[in-house]
Amino acid sequence: MKHTSYIELSKSALNNNINYLKGLAGKDTRFSMVIKANAYGHGIEDLLPMVEECGVDHFTVFSVAEAMRAHRVKQKQCEIMIVGWIDDDHLAWAIENEVSFYIFTLERLHATCQVAQKINKPAKVHIEIETGMHRTGFYKEDLKDVVRIIEDNRSCFEVKGVCTHFAGAEEMVNHDRIKKQIQRFKDITNGLEKQGIIPECYHCACSAGLFNFPETALDLVRVGISSYGFWPNTETKMLNLNDGDQTNDPLQRVLSWKSVVMSVKYVDENEYVSYGRSYLTNHPTKIATIPVGYGYGFSRTLSNNGYVLIRGTRVRVVGAVNMNMMVVDVTDLEEVNVNDEVVLIGKQGDQTITVSSFSDMNNSMNYELLTRLPGHIPRRIVS
């Protein structure tokens, strides 16, 4: 193994999740898998062909750079949709390659119109409506300009979608805010229809929307975190598990992260381990060094705090996590050798390390920890 760790992607887990979530969305709802932020750390290039084989033909990315990566590796006919960043210089690329994108400012609408005219091909656009998140999207008052520009330049636009995004559908304390967003979306889209803007599809639901407000699935759902096997947060999990049965999670983790033991040695009692003085041995200690550190996405906050699996046993990180290495206490393991498998995330024997159990953090940290996994760690596909 040339690299110090690798990431495994489970095809059967992915297939399981996609089938389950498609089932929830219903057969009349298109399933868009969100693959922004390097497919939530899983790796766009490795994941996308597998997702296609699971029968998905719509992908959501954040930026034009991600769209280009997805476009390069896609094998089938599919729609790639940019929900965030695209600069004017790349509008022509998107239009020519039939990559759709969100429009949420008049500037982008004008620029799109000009480019579409110039290359004589309609842009596939999604009109984003501001319904209460206050991030991006058109306010109701701006829409008359949007309608006028589209109506005056019909040949420049193919209105693929009208959409919005919920401001935290995973939390029940936010229930009223989401309900208001749903109502506003209905009102505004009705108004747009009256003015002749009838898109191919309406969409607003992310994972938590699909789980907690199933009526918001509409024509298309944009599903990220749950297709990778993670719940948006614990609350959503508890509310949606089949009969509250915690042993029967319908979602399966797609990603595992593995390394090997690099060295094993003994430390006397009363010695500090790793940089500084954050860990002092209180007994003769057997330590194993693992060639993964914060430079690889294993956070420094896991110093004296995180766990890994070796020989089916949970062992603790001792001392500071370094840039390239960490040290774990393996005193309780009778046998441990160089090259033994180390599981940083995933299963070994009957033990599991979840991303969130990296430490005592809330499940919603899944999003952040996953996307910090560096793209340079090699990915391997397993069944």
Cα–Cα nearest to 12, from 66, 53, 68, 45: 53
Residue of 99, 225, 273, 330 that binds ligand PLP (CB under 6 A): 225
The distance of closest approach from Cβ of residue 73 to ligand PLP in the complex, given in angstroms and rounded to an integer, is: 20
Which parts of 1-30 interact with ligand PLP (CB under 6 A)?
none
The mark string for 232-261 relative to ligand PLP (x by CB under 6 A, - otherwise) is x-----------------------------
The distance of closest approach from Cβ of residue 376 to ligand PLP in the complex, given in angstroms and rounded to an integer, is: 23
**Which window, 176-184, 189-197, 223-231, 281-289, contacts ligand PLP (CB under 6 A)?**
223-231
Residue of 9, 83, 254, 355 that binds ligand PLP (CB under 6 A): 83
Residue nearest to ligand PLP (CB): 224
Question: Residue 207 interacts with ligand PLP (CB under 6 A)?
Answer: yes
**Which window, 219-227, 251-259, 278-286, 348-356, contacts ligand PLP (CB under 6 A)?**
219-227
For ligand PLP, how many residues bind (rule: CB under 6 A)? Answer: 12
Residue of 125, 223, 251, 333 that binds ligand PLP (CB under 6 A): 223
Question: Residue 224 interacts with ligand PLP (CB under 6 A)?
Answer: yes
Binding residues (CB under 6 A) for ligand PLP: these are 34, 36, 83, 165, 206-208, 222-225, 232
